[in-house]
Copies of this chain bind each other. A is one copy, B any other.
Amino acid sequence: MRAVCVIGLGLIGGSVLRAASAAGRQVWGTAGSVADAQAALAEEFTVVDVDSAIRRAAREDALVVVAVPLPAVDAVLRKVGDLAPTCLLTDVVSVKGPVADAVTRYAPTTRFAGGHPMAGKSASGWAAGESTLFTNAAWVVTADEETTVEAWREAAQLALDCGAGVVPTTTHEHDAAVARISHLPHVLAAVLAACGADGGPLAMALAAGSFGDGTRVSGSRPELVRAMCEGNRAALLDAVDDALGRLGAARGALASTGALGATINAGHAGRSAFDEQRAAGRAQVVVDLTGADPLEELRLVGAQGGRVVRFDGDLAVATTPVLTG
């Protein structure tokens, strides 16, 4: 099994280190935070300085996993480009466009496929991590025009070893999708929380289920939410414009006829699509990685809401939801 070098040992990186180790891989890491480094060392993981970690990855042809916050990605990739210019490379950052751009700029000859495990929790740091964090989670591995099958498969195998299902899609499609299902929810929750609190203690005394659910993510650390949303600026702008258009239409309907049917029915249909896809039966799809354009076939699996669940020799075995809508 290929060794894994994890750069950044916070919640996600620390969980990848643990999960890859539990899967039987040789692992080592490096952490910008002294506390995270010491905590990982205390659990008998190998933690070294960043230059040593990357040099060792180059020597042993390990998979390098960039697990630092977006603002620190450029500096890390400069080092990777210098010290391990042809290494296998992936990342676990929540937006994929800026990371892909930075790879092109600073580490263009690495064998790279971007990654994003859709798992998390409100706590952060090594101490919050766990080897089972990714169990049954979706883990995007980007398959762009310039991605090689080798790089995609290596990143995907890590995700599978961590217990996740692999969703293949492009960098652009990933960022557009997470803008809608992860970043827009944070923006709308913030708007709702502020509107509700403006109602004062009376409104807060009456608030219960719907307000509590709708604002839950606003309890997350603001600096992490900002970094996540601001890092996906272009795609989030599109999603916010969509929301503004829909909210404006609701406003217009309420003001003119007083009828909110179009808004409420569209929302119910959207939520039903989400529930139905989760409950749907699954069909099996097999992609031959030695075929003519396996990454295009894999992207189609992702577009259908599917995920790769294992490799069988050179075959990628995927399941896709059977949707009736």
Interface on A for B, CB 8 Å cutoff? Answer: 118-120, 137-138, 140, 167, 169, 173-174, 176-178, 180-182, 184-220, 222, 225-226, 229-230, 233, 236-237, 239-244, 246-248, 250-251, 254-255, 258-261, 263-275, 277-278, 302-307, 321, 323
CB distance from A224 to the nearest CB of B (A): 10
A187 contacts across to B, CB distance below 8 A: 247, 250, 260, 263-264
Among A119, A184, A192, A211, max chain B CB count under 10 A is at A192
6 contacts between A and B (CB under 8 A): A184-B196, A201-B305, A204-B277, A229-B254, A229-B260, A233-B254
Interchain CB contact (< 8 A) of A267 among B189, B203, B212: B189
Chain A interface mostly helix, strand, loop or mixed?
helix
A246 contacts across to B, CB distance below 8 A: 191, 194-195
A205 contacts across to B, CB distance below 8 A: 138, 167, 277, 302, 305-307, 321
Number of copies: 2
The answer to whether A277 and B201 touch across the interface, beta carbons within 8 angstroms, is yes
The answer to whether A250 and B197 touch across the interface, beta carbons within 8 angstroms, is no
The answer to whether A230 and B260 touch across the interface, beta carbons within 8 angstroms, is yes
Q: CA separation between A229 and B174, bound complex, in Å?
A: 35
Q: CA separation between A305 and B217, bound complex, in Å?
A: 23
The answer to whether A264 and B180 touch across the interface, beta carbons within 8 angstroms, is no
CB distance from A200 to the nearest CB of B (A): 7
A214 contacts across to B, CB distance below 8 A: 185, 188-189, 213-214, 217
Q: CA separation between A294 and B272, bound complex, in Å?
A: 49
A229 contacts across to B, CB distance below 8 A: 254, 260, 264
The answer to whether A208 and B267 touch across the interface, beta carbons within 8 angstroms, is no
The answer to whether A189 and B218 touch across the interface, beta carbons within 8 angstroms, is no
The answer to whether A177 and B199 touch across the interface, beta carbons within 8 angstroms, is yes
Q: CA separation between A65 and B216, bound complex, in Å?
A: 35
A194 contacts across to B, CB distance below 8 A: 246, 263, 266-267, 269-270
Beyond A194-B269, A210-B181, A244-B244, whether A169 also contacts B202 by CB under 8 A is yes
A215 contacts across to B, CB distance below 8 A: 267, 270-271, 274
Interchain CB contact (< 8 A) of A264 among B190, B199, B204: B190
The answer to whether A239 and B195 touch across the interface, beta carbons within 8 angstroms, is yes
Residue of B at shortest CB range from A216?
Answer: B213
The answer to whether B233 and A243 touch across the interface, beta carbons within 8 angstroms, is no
Residue of B at shortest CB range from A253?
Answer: B230
A266 contacts across to B, CB distance below 8 A: 190, 193-194
Beyond A226-B260, A251-B241, A258-B233, whether A118 also contacts B219 by CB under 8 A is no
The answer to whether A271 and B306 touch across the interface, beta carbons within 8 angstroms, is no
Q: CA separation between A37 and B191, bound complex, in Å?
A: 43
The answer to whether B206 and A217 touch across the interface, beta carbons within 8 angstroms, is no
A190 contacts across to B, CB distance below 8 A: 250, 263-264, 266-268, 270
